Amino acid sequence: MTGFVSRINTAVAQSFVGKWFMLEGSSHPRPRAGTAFSTELRAGFATFVTMAYIISVNSLIISDTGGTCVCDYDPLDPTKGGASIGTSAGGGAPAVGAGDMIAYCSTNHEYTSCIDIVRKDLIVATAAMACIASTAIGLFSNLPLGMAPGMGINAYFTYTVVGKFGSGKISYRVALAAVFIEGLIFLVLSVLGLRQWLARCIPRNIKVATGVGIGLYLCFIGMQSSAGIGLIRSDPATLVGLGGCNTEYLDASGACLAGRMESPRTWMGVLGLFIISILVLYKVKGAILIGILFVAVISWFRGTSVTYFPNDPMGDSRFNYFKQVVSFHTIQKTWAVMDFQLNTGEFWLALITFLYVDILDTTGTMFSMAQFAGFMDPKTGDFEGSTPAFITDALCVSLGAVFGTSDVTAFVESGAGITEGGRTGLTAVTTGICFFISLFFSPIFSAIPPWATGPALIFVGSLMTKSVTEINFNYIGDSIPAFLTLAMMPLTYNIAYGLLGGLLAAVVINGTVYIVEKLSKGRLVPPNKNEKDPVMSFRMGPQGEGVLPPWLVRLIRKLKGQDPLEHAEHGRGAVARVSEETLPAPSAPASPKVDDKKNDNIEMVDKVMPDEFTENPANLLSTSSGIESLSTRRMSRSHHRNSISADHRGEL
């Protein structure tokens, strides 16, 4: 069997497919080390399995807007739910009277039947957009990223902008128009390179903290009940608390009244995490996928305490749908229903909010996943394929609005596929194909319970937090913004809020230091300011030169007959080549050279890297901000800064 797989890998690598996706053994001049066709397929399926929950979760959330359904609620007619006249509070929250509308519409059979159709429409829309977006980003940017309508932004779209059952100030149709225009604006920003520029302006410590924060965010999702093992539940006194209780012990808010840690489903999730951990410990390939499938298959048997199909109306409905195996639904109520009412302040407020949330959320996620996979360029702070990736994201945002769903974004669950060894766009294409199949076999894929995928999210989250040692905790101006970033992401349940909090803290703290230093003419300076990370250039270009975006600089160099990548090496192949050119022999000592003439930056010269980086170029992730230099104090700690290497991930 191993020989057969090896022959398949070799044949694909030597084909056009291998060259396009830069597989190892292909004729591409810069193949990605350690990549193989079979590994990419496994990684893509692992990404899909951990993302599959979005098919049902996104449809449930967005359908709470009511979609295009109309409820006959009349605040002046008591026979139609009218009890009091009220207006909607700012931000879409139900106000006096809005609660009456929600209560009436939720019991209106005609309205709820319409919403059920909308929910089925959104299941198809979610799977279709995940298929299109994941396939496109794999084909055109060659990145192992899964894409789909994003969590967090869908909740903001539903409960803050539109409101439950349309109780907000903006209708579902108008909100979709805002998302559509947002995608077009993103397209312009991506072509001009401004999204990459904005990302490069983020300080290195905040970038590293973003990856750590996303890891904690994933863990938090994996420990909850909606998409995880139910280990954490709400608590009226402490907001969150220990859960793991059976449903009969839950109160109206979802808190456990008794029986904590007695739920068999929670313990099944714990078992899944244990299986994944042990398999990874012994370097068993496909460990995450094995753990997910093990728990899922056990949960398909009826009559057990861990079944996903209990003997109640909900369980019967799931099981009947599961038995259909093949089912396809045609979109009826959410296709191309946008309403471009641009003359309201609420529309523009929603548009601006969508813009800044998605810029921070999607851009932060892409850069974190690129860093996790080892694609960051230490010279530019950018990653290979960033421009086509951002253009693809922008087009899919607008296309998602046509399908009737909120913003499409890169998923942090892509870390599961990266951990499985995914390093090329084949991983994303495989994920897209799986979502395409789910359009026809959604009963099977929708039967993977959350306590089966939760362990994978927790495990991947633990891997992503390893880079916390790269944060400069020696200088408060670097450590506090980074800490706020990583802490706020899981606590606010929003990646963008964490990034925003960290950036604001960095501006306030370091801005104050700068102003005090200038006013005192250099007499009042923090004693350890020399330990502060250097600030990256805000100028555009592959290395900060000029105002042209990187893709245009590379095009100009190519038209001139010059090497387009001479100043903008990208990808794992480039990182490996940089290592071969600049790294010393394993026996050579490491010693940095300081050049005070260049803004006190420490220049990297021969023999600057420790042996660990020679053997594992992925550890060059620590320079993802675009700053090549590392201070002497960090070099002394570099041997225990372990990122997950390509070789290690490929063995999972």
Of the ranges 139-143, 359-363, 630-634, which is most confident?
Answer: 139-143
| Phi/psi of residue 256, nearest 5 degrees | -80, 125
| pLDDT > 70? residue 530 | yes
Assess whether pLDDT exceeds 60 at residue 581.
no
| Residues 380-401: tens digit of each pLDDT | 667 778 888 889 999 999 999 9
For residues 352 and 104, the answer to whether their CB atoms sit within 8 Å is no
Helix (H) or strand (E) holding 239: strand 239-242
Model confidence over 158-203: pLDDT tens digits? 877 888 788 777 889 999 999 999 999 989 888 887 776 776 677 8
pLDDT in tens, 57-80: 788 778 888 888 888 776 666 655
Is pLDDT at 603 greater than 70 in this prediction?
no
Distance CA 68, CA 125 (A): 15
Which pLDDT belongs to residue 183? 92
Q: Work out the pLDDT band at 355, boundaries 50, 70, 90.
A: confident
Burial of 412 (0-12, 13-18, 19+ CB in 10 A): buried
Centroid of chain to Cα 102 = 32
Kindly state the tokens that stand for 617.
């170029």
User: Per the structure block, which two tokens stand in for 572?
Assistant: 């794992």
Distances (CA, A) of 190 to 193, 395, 412: 5, 10, 21
DSSP letter, residue 80? G
Q: How confident is the model at residue 282 (pLDDT cuts 50, 70, 90)?
A: confident
Range name among 192-196, 284-288, 401-405, 564-568 with the lowest pLDDT average: 564-568
Residue 304 bridge partners (DSSP): none
What is the 8-class DSSP label of residue 227?
Answer: S
Residue-level length of the chain: 652
| DSSP run (H or E) holding 363 | helix 345-373
**Confidence (pLDDT) at 242:** 92
Torsion, Cα of 189, 193, 195, 197 (10° steps): -140
User: Taking all residues of the chain, what is their mean pLDDT, rounded to a whole number?
Assistant: 76
**R_g of the chain computed on alpha carbons:** 25
From the list 558, 581, 578, 554, the residue with the least C-alpha distance to 568 is: 554
Residues with Cβ within 8 Å of 534's Cβ and at least 6 positions away in sequence, in order, are 599, 600, 601, 627, 629
Q: Tens digits of per-residue pLDDT, 220-252? A: 888 988 778 989 998 888 888 899 888 888 887
Query: Does the pLDDT of residue 607 top 60, yes or no?
Result: no
* Backbone φ/ψ region at 301: left (φ over 0), alpha (ψ -120 to 50), beta: beta
